[in-house]
Structure 1
């Protein structure tokens, strides 16, 4: 995936986090904040706790990215396969955009509640009752593995990346893009929930997601219908890059 792809991933993930992530993870953050953060904690101490929680989430996403990328590497063997994956990604992105707009319940359908499982409950209880800073990181890791529509969506990008390292990078970019919103949520939760910025960001994210989904569909279709043209373009780009290095 090129730079433009990572830039788009970051933009979509950041804007999507203002709406979707607050709705899904907001309650989780408020729960651990009230249970674990003491009233006598300084803002700096709270900031470290929230930061460790978010780094824990990103850690889980990177692990998932490695898995998705590794799986993708076993299938991405031709332009046709690339085209099929891009069409799949594009379709998912369009559905995601419509879901963010409230036109579909696609994201909700993807998300499942795993808190009912005993192992999750056991780990959650252990971590939620601890006030140590490492426990915030552990909670983040735990939360990162909870099934989430956005994680699935960007997981398809990791799958389409065709390599373990690229898959890790895709999910790392996604995770990092969601940090600003969720990091500040603990401090200004009421403002974010009532702010019109949330609706505006969600609308912009929806448009970006759908637009990029349509672009991916067109790109994937071209790879299947006219693979020779795409291959020639790839070779031309490689030659241009080699000329620049001389």
Structure 2
């Protein structure tokens, strides 16, 4: 897997976690973890965080299957260009990925069930429920998760999609961990500033996927068809 993809996933996760602190902060704060016992606090906090990252990775695997089917059909470059264009559309029409998906009746019904179940586990406030809370938290609507999952499809590989979403989740870990420890430390004004940055990240990612699909033989940015085939072969050998 290209190191550039890992770095992009980590960067997106770290940057978008500034937004996550505001959106998912209330859930993190409601866990009621006691920081006096540092070892126990770290273990319980990481259990919750691992749940979120697990969900991102599973979603990456599911969408990676879709992307890999295009690769087998020899359409990976077209898929990459399509995904890039789709991400740019996301920026031009923010509602397309911020809350558009949740307006669909099946997804909206699922989200209601997720939130109800999440509330039940939060009320339990015990160690065994923390991982499940994290799993459910990872399913909640989030613009940057949508954008990252879209990117995962464009990678055209189940393995790459899983790793991309895993490192995306890993990128969100530092600030989300700190939120449980210190509380919601971002003001409304700071969150609004961050929201202005996130579409730019999506736009840049979209352009990168279009360049990748064009196969211009630019190292790391737009590898040639031969390089993509070799990388794909390496993935299948793992």
Q: Where on the TM-score scale, by shorter chain, does this alignment land: which range? A: 0.7 to 0.9
- Give 2:226's aligned residue: 235
CA distance in 1, matches of 2:101, 2:28: 18
CA distance in 2, matches of 1:106, 1:235: 35
- Kindly state the Cα deviation for residue 55 of structure 1 after the two structures are TM-superposed: 0.4
Structure 1 window deviating more from structure 2 (138-147 vs 106-115): it is: 106-115
* Gapped regions of structure 1 (runs ≥ 5): 226-231, 240-246
- Give 2:206's aligned residue: 213
- Kindly state the Cα deviation for residue 203 of structure 1 after the two structures are TM-superposed: 4.9
User: Where do 1:33-182 residues align within 5 Å?
Assistant: 33=31, 36-37=32-33, 42-77=37-72, 81-97=75-91, 104-110=94-100, 112=102, 114-117=110-113, 121=116, 123-182=117-176
Q: Deviations over 1:3-32 (max 9, x none)?
A: 21221222122112212x1232122223x3
**Is 1:10 aligned with 2:10?**
yes
CA distance in 1, matches of 2:78, 2:227: 23
Please give the root-mean-square deviation of Cα atoms over the aligned residues, in Å: 3.4
* Higher Cα radius of gyration: 1
Q: Is the 8 A contact 1:76 1:160 kept in 2?
A: no
The residue matched to 1:76 in structure 2 has which SS?
helix
Instruction: Quickly say closer, same or farther: Cα 1:235–1:164, change in 2 above 3 A.
Output: closer
How many residue pairs are counted as aligned between the two chains? 220
CA distance in 1, matches of 2:155, 2:43: 33
Instruction: Quickly say closer, same or farther: Cα 1:202–1:115, change in 2 above 3 A.
Output: closer
- Kindly state the Cα deviation for residue 61 of structure 1 after the two structures are TM-superposed: 1.1
CA distance in 1, matches of 2:180, 2:228: 46
**Is 1:25 aligned with 2:32?**
no
Q: TM-score, normalised by structure 1?
A: 0.73
Q: Is the 8 A contact 1:9 1:173 kept in 2?
A: yes
* Gapped regions of structure 2 (runs ≥ 5): 103-107, 217-222, 231-238
Q: Deviations over 1:213-241 (max 9, x none)?
A: 22322433x25x9xxxxxx94437989xx
Q: TM-score, normalised by structure 2?
A: 0.75
Q: Is the 8 A contact 1:110 1:149 kept in 2?
A: no
- Kindly state the Cα deviation for residue 76 of structure 1 after the two structures are TM-superposed: 1.7
- Kindly state the Cα deviation for residue 107 of structure 1 after the two structures are TM-superposed: 3.4
